[in-house]
């Protein structure tokens, strides 16, 4: 991202930090990793990945493809 001067580098990086923090929070506040917890985190992970990959990652992809850096 830095090599291509992606304008949303900080936002993109923060999205990943927020994701990591949320997953760690899920785990640290859950004493029993039961089926309900597994379903909950599974749903969160799927939703985040879908939104992230089809959203901000698409913006990054478009930017990289337009750049001279390959």
Tell me whether residue 27 is in a domain: no
Crossing angle between the packed helical segments 9-28 and 56-66, to the nearest 10 degrees:
150
State the Cα–Cα distance between residues 43 and 28, nearest whole angstrom: 18
Tell me whether residue 41 is in a domain: yes
For 53-66, the pLDDT digits (tens) are 888 899 999 999 99
Tell me whether residue 21 is in a domain: no
Q: How many CB atoms lie within 10 A of CB 6?
A: 17
Q: Which domain holds residue 53?
A: 33-70
Report the chain's C-alpha Rg in angstroms: 16
Q: Is the pLDDT of residue 70 over 70?
A: no
Tell me whether residue 8 is in a domain: no
For 5-52, the pLDDT digits (tens) are 999 999 999 999 999 999 998 888 877 778 888 898 999 999 999 999
Task: Write down the pTM of the prediction.
Answer: 0.74
Give the model's pLDDT for residue 32.
Answer: 78
State the Cα–Cα distance between residues 70 and 47, nearest whole angstrom: 30
Domain count, the chain: 1
């Amino acid at each position: 991202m830095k090599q291509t001067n992606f304008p949303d580098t900080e936002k993109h990086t923060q999205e990943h930090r927020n994701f990591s923090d949320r997953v760690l929070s899920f785990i640290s506040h859950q004493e029993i990793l039961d089926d309900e917890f597994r379903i909950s985190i599974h749903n969160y992970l799927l939703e985040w990945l879908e939104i992230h990959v089809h959203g901000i990652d698409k913006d990054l992809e478009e930017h990289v493809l337009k750049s001279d850096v390959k």
